[in-house]
Amino acid sequence: MAKVKADTLVLILGDQLTPEIAACRAAPTDATLLICEVASETTYVRHHKKKIAFLFSAMRHFAEEMRTSGKKVIYRKLDDAPAATTMTDAVSHAIRKTGATALYATRAGEWRLVHEMEEWPKKLGIDVHLHDDDRFLCPREEFERWAEDRKSLRMEYFYRDMRRRTGLLMDGDHPVGGRWNFDAENRKPAEADLLMPDVARFEPDAITRDVLDLVRENFADHIGSSDNFWFAVTRADAQKAFQHFLREALPWFGDFQDAMLREKRFLYHSVCSIYMNCGLLDPLAMCRAAETEYREGRAPLNAVEGFIRQIIGWREYVRGIYFLRGPDYTRENRLQAMRPLPSFYWTGETEMECLRCAITQTIEEAYAHHIQRLMVTGLFALLAGVDPHETHVWYLEVYADAYEWVEAPNTIGMSQFADGGYLASKPYAASGAYIDRMSDYCGACVYRVKHKAGLRACPFNYLYWDFLIRNGERLSRNPRLAQPYRLITKMSDARRREIAEDSARFLSALS
């Protein structure tokens, strides 16, 4: 790092890449921005190669953007000497080099780093100003107040509050179209269609190519490949990617939100979480732009409402839960699931076509859409009784959009039901029939989705019942599971034995 004098430093983390971030707004305008590539951030879990490449390139481009706008910037590269293992090391080093007497920073999105930052006022020996991250509609304290007197938290009521607060899709006090939620219309299976749009792809420039070399050299043993890198890495290109989604995919987003196709990895999804979560796109501005598409007749209400609900509803809600439940949330395991994550999650080598497709795509793209995460990889881990912490680490590592505040509630709460129903009212458990209805995976699978038992039967079919029977004590009183538990009470002993034997055979082969 070159010697520079600076009175005040503003630390910008890799997922805070906007000049509107709280610390930047609070600091004096002539403060020096500090952006650091730090080893511990790349290895506290072993992030996917494309995730590291994306973030480092976006950080380097953001530094350029800020310099061009007249800001002073100190950028620390991963291999700059002396090595900085942790964020605290990197910041201490910058303070020594610059003689800075004040540091501004915005609180991180993961407890691990929040705790590290809270030590800084003591450790760094200069004035430290920590600011809440106010890029979210619902501040942490407000979510706590909202949750305080409720027996169970349900996203739908939170979402309605966010609609009222933002005025998005509202006609006065009423939801546009007379209903808050059009989800029931958003469950159509898709058919492979040559006219289906591709995701917006961007050619790596010199900065990205440098980063890709660095990743190849330093992270060879992390999952995935850095080849075929197409993410946007600047604010301008992320905006182009979003505009591409608005034009080419939003009108069909609702209808096919839950669909899965072997040859279409992105369907009509926005593929924008990557950009939103690191600060390149502003979620509220995106929702307003989507609303305009509806108001001006270019996209139907079910699509636009669905898209807006994911962002001002689910995205805000899971963040509220993450901070409300505290740092131990990722250790929740109410179903006491203990199985190690099967090794095919790291290779995609399995005969189950749905899992092969979702995992191979994840390894190649660092992306899978929601239903692949929830109803393929998540569903299998749930039914097989995989330790939810191992599943959580996998999701945090493999997706380019993954940060604990959003990943952990989705994995621990929604997908693995490991918090005992705090986030979701029932486990997302299903047999192979669900995957068959929503995808074209089963036709290409060695297993038979219509078979209930035996070597050729779809494993989801017996694992579903085995999961419910195994967890009967904990789940049978859940009113939303009354119907399957009624069927279980009517099951013959022979059928129960068959389910137990098929499941035991399959699961023991897994390990």
Tokens describing residue 408: 């952990």
Q: Cα separation of 232 and 245, whole Å?
A: 13
Stretch that binds ligand FAD, among 173-181, 203-211, 314-322, 474-482 (CB under 6 A): 314-322
Task: Give the neighbor-by-neighbor strand order of the sheet with 72-76.
Answer: 72-76, 32-36, 8-11, 102-106, 127-131
Residue 13 sits in the site that holds ligand DLZ (CB under 6 A) = yes
DSSP letter, residue 74: E
Residue 244 sits in the site that holds ligand FAD (CB under 6 A) = no
Q: Cα separation of 61 and 102, whole Å?
A: 25
Stretch that binds ligand DLZ, among 40-48, 414-422, 434-442, 457-465 (CB under 6 A): 40-48
Q: Cα separation of 35 and 90, whole Å?
A: 9
Stretch that binds ligand SF4, among 65-73, 199-207, 440-448, 501-509 (CB under 6 A): 440-448
CA 116 remoteness from chain centre: 23
> Can you tell me which of 38, 259, 299, 445 binds ligand SF4, judged by CB under 6 A?
445
Residue 460 sits in the site that holds ligand SF4 (CB under 6 A) = yes
Residue 272 sits in the site that holds ligand FAD (CB under 6 A) = yes
C-alpha neighbours within 13 Å on the C-beta side of residue 125: 7
Best CA proximity match to 310, nearest among 392, 399, 371, 378: 371
Closest distance to ligand FAD from the beta carbon of 152 (Å):
18
User: Is the CB of 258 or the CB of 282 nearer to ligand DLZ?
Assistant: 282
Tokens describing residue 254: 């609702």
Query: Which of ligand SF4, ligand FAD, ligand DLZ, none lies near 414, with the C-beta cut-off 5 to 8 A by kind?
Result: ligand FAD
Stretch that binds ligand DLZ, among 8-16, 139-147, 235-243, 470-478 (CB under 6 A): 8-16
Closest distance to ligand DLZ from the beta carbon of 47 (Å):
5
Best CA proximity match to 381, nearest among 367, 395, 368, 370: 395
Residues 6+ apart with CB under 8 A from 297: none
Residue 399 sits in the site that holds ligand FAD (CB under 6 A) = yes
User: Is the CB of 256 or the CB of 464 nearer to ligand FAD?
Assistant: 256
506, 463 Cβ separation under 8 angstroms:
yes
Q: Cα separation of 52 and 212, whole Å?
A: 9
User: Is the CB of 16 or the CB of 277 nearer to ligand FAD?
Assistant: 277
Residue 413 sits in the site that holds ligand SF4 (CB under 6 A) = no
Q: Cα separation of 307 and 291, whole Å?
A: 10
Residue 436 sits in the site that holds ligand SF4 (CB under 6 A) = yes
- Kind plus residue range of the DSSP H or E element containing 72: strand 72-76
The burial class, CB within 10 Å (0-12 / 13-18 / 19+), for 395 is buried
Residue 299 sits in the site that holds ligand DLZ (CB under 6 A) = no
DSSP letter, residue 315: I
Residue 87 sits in the site that holds ligand FAD (CB under 6 A) = no
Best CA proximity match to 403, nearest among 311, 310, 322: 322
Residue 47 sits in the site that holds ligand FAD (CB under 6 A) = no
Residue 403 sits in the site that holds ligand DLZ (CB under 6 A) = yes
Binding to ligand DLZ, residues 231-290 (CB under 6 A): none
Residue 258 sits in the site that holds ligand SF4 (CB under 6 A) = no
Query: Which of ligand SF4, ligand DLZ, ligand FAD, none lies near 252, with the C-beta cut-off 5 to 8 A by kind?
Result: none
Residue 449 sits in the site that holds ligand SF4 (CB under 6 A) = yes
Return phi, psi of residue 51, to 5°. -70, -45
Closest distance to ligand SF4 from the beta carbon of 447 (Å):
4
249, 190 Cβ separation under 8 angstroms:
no
User: Is the CB of 86 or the CB of 478 nearer to ligand DLZ?
Assistant: 86
Return the C-alpha torsion angle 289, 293, 296, 299, nearest 10. Answer: -170
User: Is the CB of 38 or the CB of 412 nearer to ligand DLZ?
Assistant: 38
Binding region for ligand SF4 (CB under 6 A): 352-354, 432, 435-436, 441-442, 445, 447, 449, 458-460
Binding region for ligand FAD (CB under 6 A): 269-273, 276-277, 307, 310-311, 314-315, 318, 369-370, 373-374, 378, 395, 399, 401-402, 406-407, 410-411, 414-415
